[in-house]
Each structure stands twice: as C-alpha cells, then as structure tokens.
Chains A and B, each alone.
Chain A
Amino acid sequence: MKSTWFTSVLASSVLTASTVTAAEFELSGKVSVEHRHFFKDAQFAGQFDGGQSSVALEPELYWSWNDGFDSIIFTPFYRVDSQDDNRQHGDIRELAYIHAEDDWELRVGIRKEFWGVTEFQHLVDVINQTDNVEDFDGEDKLGQQMINLSLVQDWGIVDFFILPGFRERTFASEQGRLRGPIVVDKDNVTYESSAKQQHLDVALRWAHSIGDFDLGSYWFHGTNREPILTPSHNGESLVLQQYYNQMDQLGLDVQATLGDWLWKFETIYRKTSTESFVATQAGFEYSFIGIFDSNLDLGLLTEYAWDSRGVVDFNTVEFGHSGSVFQNDLFLGTRLAFNDMQSTEVLMGLGTDLDHSANSFLMEASRRFGDNFKASLDIRLLQSSDSIDTAFMLRDDDHAQFSVEWYF
C-alpha cells in the first residue's frame, strides 16, 4: 500500500518533468575494471583462492528544468564478478526528484544521505544500508527510498525523513572471500516488526554551522540497519540467519575547524528491545601544507572508537546482545596529496584493538591518467591471533586491489 503510493508520487513527478520542454539532460558516469589478489589461500571451505576480477557500470542520468530548481537524477549500478555470485549484483543508487525553493527543499525517491565527520568509522551515518559486498570499508551504500523535506532556518537546516521500504544488507556468498566461517543466508530473513520490510522508518535531523563549529543531531526510529546473525539450519547446511530488530537512535556529530586542526566527534545512543548502548568515535586531523618546500600536503589523522557494549564474545553471546568490533580501538592515518596535474594521492591507515590482538592496515593510492581515466591501488592487511575478534575470521584475506576507472 505504502509502496504503491510512493511509486505514484514518483511517477507523477517524472510525468511533470516530461511535459516541460526546457529540460536539460546530462549523461555521465563511470565504468570500472577491478582485480583483487588474495595473498593467502582461503580459510574456509568453498571460498576461492587467488584472484577475483570484476567490472562495474554506474551511469548517471540527470534532467533539470526551472533553472535547476527542479531535477531528476537516475543512477543505476551493476557489477559483474568472476568469483562471488552475491557480489555480482545491481542496485538503483538514485532515482529521485528534487524540488528546491529558497527556504525548503523536497526530495522524493531513492537516494543516498550521508551524515558524519570522522574517517575510520561512520557511526552516525544511518539512513542507507551498507552494500557490504562492494568493499569492506562499509562506505558503499544501497539506495534508500525516502521522502525528505528539508527546511532552511536561521538556526540551521532541519530535515524530515519518511523511509518506506527497508533494504537488507548484502553479504559474500559461499565462494566469496572476506566473510566468516558460516555463510549469511540471503533468504529466510526475519524481522521484529510484523510489517517486516514495509515498516515505515522516520528520522529528524538538525544541522548547523556556528563559526568554527559544524553541528548535527538526529533521532531515528525504525529498522536497525545492522542485522543480528544467528546460526541456523537451512536444509543440510548451517547458515547465518539475518534478523532485523527495531531501534531508536540518537546521534550527534561535531566538527571544530580550528586553523590547521580539525577536531571530530561522533556519538550515538541506540535502544532496541534487548539492549541499549552508547558508542563514540572521536579524533583529529592535522594538515601540513607544502612540506619540504614542495606542493605536497601531509595530513595526520588519529581517531579513537569506544562502545559501551564491549567486545564481541562468541562464547557467551546472548541473542540480541551483539557487542562491538570497535569497542576500544585506536586508528592512525596519513594522507599525502601531491597536488599535481594528475591529482596523485596516497592514504594509509592503521587500526588496532587496545583490548586484544587485532590489527588492520590499509593503503589507497590513486592517480589520474589522461583526462578520463583514474587508476587506484589498494592494499588491505588484517591480523589477529584472538578468536573473539572479527579480524580473526578475515586474517587470511589480505589482498591487493588494482582498479582502472573510465569516466564519461
């Protein structure tokens, strides 16, 4: 019922668009070819060894009229993968109509909405589901259906969200790497709400800039984007079944921009029917401009993560009491920008758990070639000798990823 109404709103907006003749149309997008190489043989049965290749297409179609105050954006996405059936997938990243006035804006359709200020973990970012098979940094998101009214006031921007339709998280298939010992079942997903995927989630956010401070705060009520995974039998095989409970979440994000220093702070309070907890991610970024008398910029990042739930303990795990991977973790990073014609950049990060043995290292280097190509090399290393950390499950998944993107 809700989705019918939703589609009709969208359809009528699309219709309005087509009747206007002065609309401007723009097609752009990218094609990326990517190859991953895993250094070690797989830890679990069924997983592939060695290389994984894939091609992804993400065009963007954009129509605007009324001097850009009305627009429609459509961004479909599809990836073909040589190894992982679940990673071969498609999504509508965006299909939305936006109408802007001086002091308000209405956005209807499938969209992506990002909140937050920190770099190593995006705690407060809650609207979109994580497209987990894309990359393990959690920055890739699935499109979310929404009606978003944004009001611009002297005291900040207030956003109202109605989110009809829930997206389930994507997980690696049996053949796929970067997964735990038991495969997550795509089917037989259960929900706390009887409305299941049709539960109408809502959110209210306020964001404002006061001098050197950028502040944001919100309340979210609806389906928890993080599933609870419990082992269960699906025929003969043991799988992890996804269960999505309901949650209320309060979030706060603050950034103070003081000269060369960026101070960042994110915190959430989440309440579900089985537990409530507080989690925080905080730190700073400092930039040296033009080091060694060159055009090189060097940024240093430090962040700390804390979660009141403490560690994930698989031995004493109780249903709905999940624990956290980032309960007492320290992150250090450097960002090198060469500021050259090809926008060469190198980013390195180190994460370490202060409670037990679990370390991660990542490096991302990228450079433009010609006017329309970009090449990236990513290296991710994970180490753990402690079976209670998720890094333990991924300790044989060290890999390098080389990708070439063509922009059109």
Chain B
Amino acid sequence: MLNKKLVFATLSSLILGFTSLTANAMTAEEQKGLEISLESKKKDEGWADSSADMLMILKNKQGQESIREIKMKSLEIMNDGDKSLTIFNKPRDVKGTAFLSFSHPVEADEQWLFLPALKRVKRISSRNKSGPFMGSEFAFEDLSSFEVEKYTYKYLGDEAANGEMSFKVEQYPVDENSGYTRRIVWIDQSEYRVQKIEFYDRKNTLLKTLTFSDYKQYLDKHWRADVQHMVNHQSGKSTELKWSNYQFKTGLKDSDFNRNSLKRAR
C-alpha cells in the first residue's frame, strides 16, 4: 500500500514535471494559440446533449447536385470525447444506416456501423480520418468533435473573418493519420466562434476552405452555425451543410448510445 502510494506520488510528480516542462518550452505564440482554443472549448461546455438535422448538398465542378439527409444525436462526456449517433435518411439506398461513435481525445475512437439490409452491426476501424464522408468534401475528421488535445497551436495574429475581428490560429494535428499538415482557424474575439478554416494537405498546399455562417445562440450560451460551406480548391467541388432543428438538453442518456439504440435508430 505504502509502496503503491510512493510509486503514484513519484509518477504524478514526473507527469507534472513533464507538463510544466513542455509548457515552459512553448513560445508565447504557441501558448496564446492553446489558450484561445481552450477558451473556445470552455465557452461551449455544458451543452449536455444535442440533436440536429443535417442537409448536405454536394456539388461537382459541373454544378450537378446530390443530397444527403442525416440526423445527428450527441452526448457530451466530461473529460473524454463525446458520443454520437449519426442516422442516414438520404440517399434512399442507405436509409436506415446508422453510425455510432465514442470519440476520444488521444486514443483511437470506437466506431460501429449498422447495415439495415443484413441487420448487421459492424465494428469499423477509426483510422480512416482523411477519407471523404459520404462522397462529400468533408473528411471524417472535419465532422468529429473538437477536442483541444487533438492539435498543437500557434497564434498568428488578429484578422477579420466574415466581418468579425478574429484570432488567427494555426493548428497542427497530433494524429499521424490526419490528412492535413495544418489548419488555419479564424476564431472571433467577441464569442470565440470558429468563422473560417483553411485546410492544408499532406504536401502543405491549400486544399479546402470552410466558412461558417448564420450563427444562432441556444440556451443563451451555445453558438451553432446554420450553414457550413466547404470549397475544395484543388477539385473545384464543394459541399454545403445546412443545419436545422437544433435541440439541446433533450435528456439523452448513455443508454441512447449503445448497440441496441444503434439498431433501432431512425
């Protein structure tokens, strides 16, 4: 018992020492970049659970459109990544397909897919971060919940975006499976909302720009953009996300995010 305590004490002092060491090693820009992201995350904490409908409009170079209709339910987990349930309604051939994800800040996410034709629940690899979501310009990692630990940061300066004076912060993904070398994010100074993100591919060339618009505030606290517009500069394709029916604190529980709820999700 005494030994265990001793080991624990040594261990925690080591960890503490390590974190303070890395903190010390940060430049002022890195420190400020991290603080902005921490503040942005903190300002949105306490939403408990949410549900919303998502309409995805995919456009190719020729302007041809394709629609995706998706319902999303999320559960906020303190000190870990969120749990989410994604239910597909359109295109019709994937109707009834549902996706359950337990995200984690550092370790691999746990993900299951329900395939309605076979009534099969399939555990899938969460390594696929960089691949396109439903053939859209959004990669899986673009749609996963924001966790501070997923990036390291550097504050680049102040700049207006969407008419809002913003902090311009560069983010470097920690996960080696990310499709990006870096993202540049504009976070407005009044409410700490993300206004714009630029994505740089593995060759460090500009790949996509995501613009957030029509922000609405829910429960006097949580800001959500009704529209997210992603433009791929290399392929000329774009995807527009339109959110509706945002609801918070609807009483969703852990039990709404398991294999059984995945199978009957609608």
Contacts and interface: CB of A to CB of B under 8 A. Distances in A.
Q: How large is the interface on B (under 10, 10 to 19, 20 to 34, 35 or more residues)?
A: 35 or more
Given A102-B255, A259-B127, A339 B132 contact: yes
B58 interface: yes
Contact of B92 (A102, A262, A287, A407): A407
Interface in A356-408: 368, 371-372, 374, 405, 407-408
A354 interface: no
B120 interface: yes
B43 interface: no
A290 B131 contact: yes
Nearest to B201: A293
Contact of B110 (A64, A71, A207, A209): A209
Nearest to A113: B119
Contacts of A257: 123-126
A290 B260 contact: no
Contacts of B261: 100
Contacts of A139: 118
A210 to B, nearest CB: 10
B93 A405 contact: yes
A181 interface: no
B258 interface: yes
Contacts of A68: 264, 266
Contacts of A26: 266
A290 B66 contact: no
A260 to B, nearest CB: 5
B119 A112 contact: yes
Given A150-B260, A290-B179, A260 B93 contact: no
A297 B128 contact: yes
Interface string A89-126: 00000000010101101000000111011000000000
A255 B124 CA distance: 10
A193 interface: no
Contact of B90 (A209, A262, A371): A371
B222 interface: no
B127 A289 contact: yes
Interface string A198-214: 00000000010100101
Interface string A13-30: 000000000000010101
A287 B259 contact: no
Interface of A: 26, 28, 30, 62, 64, 68, 71, 98, 100, 102-103, 105, 112-114, 116-117, 139, 150, 152, 157, 207, 209, 212, 214, 255, 257, 259-262, 287, 289-290, 295, 297, 339-343, 368, 371-372, 374, 405, 407-408
27 contacts: A26-B266, A62-B266, A68-B266, A98-B264, A102-B253, A117-B123, A257-B126, A260-B125, A260-B127, A261-B125, A262-B123, A262-B125, A287-B128, A289-B127, A295-B131, A339-B131, A341-B135, A343-B94, A368-B91, A371-B90, A371-B92, A372-B92, A372-B93, A374-B93, A407-B91, A407-B92, A408-B92
Given A117-B123, A289-B128, 19 more contacts: A28-B95, A30-B93, A71-B264, A98-B264, A100-B264, A157-B258, A157-B259, A257-B125, A259-B127, A260-B125, A260-B127, A287-B127, A287-B128, A290-B179, A340-B135, A342-B135, A371-B90, A407-B91, A408-B92
